[in-house]
Amino acid sequence: MSIIGYIHSFESLGAVDGPGLRFIVFMQGCPLRCLYCHNPDSWKRENANYKMTADRVYEKIAEYKNFIKNGGVTISGGEPLLQAQFCEELMKLLTKDRIETAIDTSGIISLEKSKRAIELCDLLILDIKDIDDEGAKKLTGAGIKNAQKTLEYTKEIKKRVWIRQVILEGFTLDEEKLLRLGEYLCDFENIERIELIPYHTMGVSKWEDLGLDYSLKGVKTPEVGEMDRAKEILKRFEKIKEKVR
């Protein structure tokens, strides 16, 4: 019996969630409560806009096969690995059709539940919320131990990885933390790309529509110069400087 996937939305031609043009499947449900989340409507699985089998999602993706032949499919969220078995089913279908797959995850799900899906994908996009465990808990409601274990496993199996981190005043816009992040990432030769993403407020209206309190009101988006300095801090590390974006 096919597993039903709880899905928030689809994006047919995405250009930022992995290499090339990509079809993005945004899964519904997330255990984190990131203070800057731009899709708080994706938190509760029961609020899914679509409930579909992997076969049905594959059929939808196949309509765009010619457009994504130099890119692929990214399974994002929400937190996609909360529905790891569905991700496994979908990736098996895509791999059989020679479509490249990526998973965009926070790494919050334990390896016991997520490792098979990680093994099946071609690329893992891992969001390290904050290199400081306590900082991550304040920012998201959970620490980064599972994310670190996930990254360590990708090194063990030589899985391609992109790292992402949102740069936010009061949390990750911090020289000491960025130095620690850079030092930590130097240990992983399987990392292909490190993206620093400026905090933005595009999701605030969704918080308001849902009647949620947006606690980062008044926190500004990092300026171009601040983002450049953050990148330069990571580029001090020879092993990763060419990977920083």
Question: ∠ CA 193-199-200 to the nearest 5 degrees?
Answer: 125
Give the rounded percent of residues in the chain with a pLDDT score beyond 90: 96
- For residue 74, the enclosing domain spans 4-243
Q: Each residue of 28-57: pLDDT tens digit?
A: 999 999 999 999 999 999 999 999 999 999
HEC profile of 95-139: HHCCCCEEEEECCCCCHHHHHHHHHHCCEEEEECCCCCHHHHHHH
Reading the block at residue 209, the tokens are 């529509």
Reading the block at residue 232, the tokens are 């330069």
Instruction: Quote the pTM value.
Output: 0.96
Token pair 């765009």 in the structure block, residue: 64
Report residue 98's pLDDT band, with 50, 70 and 90 as the boundaries: very high
Report residue 2's pLDDT band, with 50, 70 and 90 as the boundaries: confident
Q: Each residue of 169-178: pLDDT tens digit?
A: 999 999 999 9
Gap between the terminal Cα atoms of the chain: 43
Residue 223's nearest CA partner among 198, 196, 195, 201 is 198
How many domains is the chain built from? 1
Report yes or no: 66 and 113 within 8 Å, Cβ to Cβ: no
Residues contacting 103, CB < 8 A, separation 6+: 74, 75, 76, 80, 81, 87, 117, 118, 121, 123, 124, 125
pLDDT at 222: 97
Report yes or no: 195 and 164 within 8 Å, Cβ to Cβ: yes
Whole-number Cα distances in Å, 178 to 108, 125, 126, 153 = 21, 19, 16, 23
Q: Each residue of 85-97: pLDDT tens digit?
A: 999 999 999 999 9
Average pLDDT over residues 73-94: 97
> CATH number, domain at 219?
3.20.20.70
Kindly tell me if the per-residue pLDDT of 215 is higher than 90: yes
Kindly tell me if the per-residue pLDDT of 219 is higher than 70: yes
Report residue 202's pLDDT band, with 50, 70 and 90 as the boundaries: confident
Kindly tell me if the per-residue pLDDT of 76 is higher than 70: yes
Kindly tell me if the per-residue pLDDT of 59 is higher than 90: yes
Kindly tell me if the per-residue pLDDT of 1 is higher than 80: no
